[in-house]
Amino acid sequence: MTPLIPRANLTRVKPEIRALAESLEGHGYIAEPAIATALYLARAMRKPLLIEGDAGVGKTEIAKVFARVLDTELIRLQCYEGLDVTTALYEWNYQHQLLRLKLAERDGQDPAALERTIFGREFLLERPLLRAITRREGPPVLLVDEIDRADDGFEAFLLEVLSDFQVTIPELGTIKAVHVPYVVLTSNRTREIGDALRRRCLYLFIEHPPLDKEVRIIRAKVPTASASLAHEIARFMQRLRARPLAKAPGVAETIDWAQALVALHQDHLDPDGVADTLGCVLKDQHDVRALEGEGLAALVAEARSA
């Protein structure tokens, strides 16, 4: 296997970081020293890691593989516009509470005792943030995915949680983390993240991979793809991203395309085959139309001639 880190750089990489990089690769993620170092420091310093980059460069995958490396649970909070504290933290199980109330009315239970009962932990539905704090089996990896899609108010709330790793539930009091989770936040930069949250985190920016790394990713994720096809795909993607596209394809699209070509028993790129599978790569109609015809044939020729 090709060394994960170029030999010229081996002397400057600490053994612990090199071992982490090799573990990541063993679980299917090709990580250069900057990524492995950021994850190592986030774990050692117990600080959240904010990862930014274009869609499809592998930000979410880092958290998934990190959880596998640590042999722990991945708890994912998917952010979106309108996400509120209740959805992210906890809710009361109203159906079970109502059923308990009806049973209590039938049995003539004391109202004060009943209130304490229905607002107990057994009626609490833990959402991702609370689950990450209360997990007793060891620290999980908490993935706060696409934090840029949430609004400023939720971001401020999240900052408070990440500062103390505790939350207050009026009916139960303050709940502190049993084990402080490892936290990974991702952002596609659809809006600017606040300075306060940035200062709370370590930071990592991920670019689209260079040619050699993209070839290695294809070979690792789609092992049935031949070496020549992997190189042609990677060269095509590198040249494609250099064009002025509305939505530049990421590594996820590269992998999907390689899988599609293998499923179609393609062992090399040709204009007709590429045109038929272009929907695996480009997700905008204007990009597809701009590439049709001679432009597509020229890209294929460049990818095959290199």
Read off the pLDDT band of 26 (50, 70, 90). very high
d(CA 135, CA 140): 7
Give pLDDT, residue 102: 72
C-alpha pair distances (Å), 89 with each of 1, 139, 154, 201, 279 = 44, 17, 11, 21, 38
Give pLDDT, residue 172: 78
CATH class of 7-83+127-206: alpha beta
Per the document, the length of the chain is: 306
- Phi, psi for 205 (deg, rounded to 5): -110, 130
d(CA 229, CA 269): 7
- Residue 79, both tokens: 């952010």
Read off the pLDDT band of 98 (50, 70, 90). confident
Contacts of 231 (CB under 8 A, 6+ apart): 215, 306
Per-residue pLDDT tens over the stretch 280-294: 999 999 999 988 877
Per-residue pLDDT tens over the stretch 195-251: 999 999 999 999 999 999 999 999 999 999 999 999 999 999 999 999 999 999 999
- Cα-atom radius of gyration of the chain, to the nearest Å? 24
Assess whether pLDDT exceeds 50 at residue 61: yes
Q: What is the DSSP string of 179-197?
A: SPPEEEEEE--SSPPPHHH
| Mean pLDDT over each residue of the chain, to the nearest integer | 88
d(CA 159, CA 145): 15
Give pLDDT, residue 8: 40
Question: Of 257 and 7, which is predicted with more confidence?
Answer: 257
Nearest to 48 by CA among 91, 77, 22: 77
List helix spans (H) across 135-244: 152-164, 195-200, 211-221, 227-241
Which residues make beta-bridge pairs with 184? 49, 143
Q: What is the mean pLDDT of residues 125-154?
A: 93
253-257, long-range: CB within 8 Å, 24+ apart, which pairs? 253/56, 253/280, 253/281, 253/282, 253/283, 254/214, 254/217, 254/218, 254/281, 255/217, 255/218, 255/221, 255/222, 256/280, 256/281, 257/233, 257/281
Contact 187/147 with Cβ under 8 angstroms?
yes
Direct distance between the N- and C-terminal alpha carbons of the chain, in angstroms, rounded to an integer: 23
Worst-scoring range by mean pLDDT, 26-35, 165-174, 267-276?
165-174
Read off the pLDDT band of 84 (50, 70, 90). confident
- Phi, psi for 48 (deg, rounded to 5): -60, 150
Give pLDDT, residue 139: 96
Contact 249/209 with Cβ under 8 angstroms?
no
Read off the pLDDT band of 5 (50, 70, 90). very low
Give pLDDT, residue 126: 85
Nearest to 38 by CA among 10, 59, 55, 57: 59
> Most confidently modeled of 151-160, 260-269, 287-296?
260-269
d(CA 195, CA 148): 13
Worst-scoring range by mean pLDDT, 122-136, 137-151, 249-263?
122-136
d(CA 100, CA 298): 70
Contact 231/215 with Cβ under 8 angstroms?
yes
- 29: which DSSP letter? -
Q: What is the mean pLDDT of residues 142-154?
A: 94
Contact 28/65 with Cβ under 8 angstroms?
yes
H or E element at residue 10: none
Per-residue burial over 44-77, b = 16 or more CB atoms within 10 Å of its CB, e = otherwise: eeeebbbbbbbbbbbbbbbbbbbbbbbebbbbbb
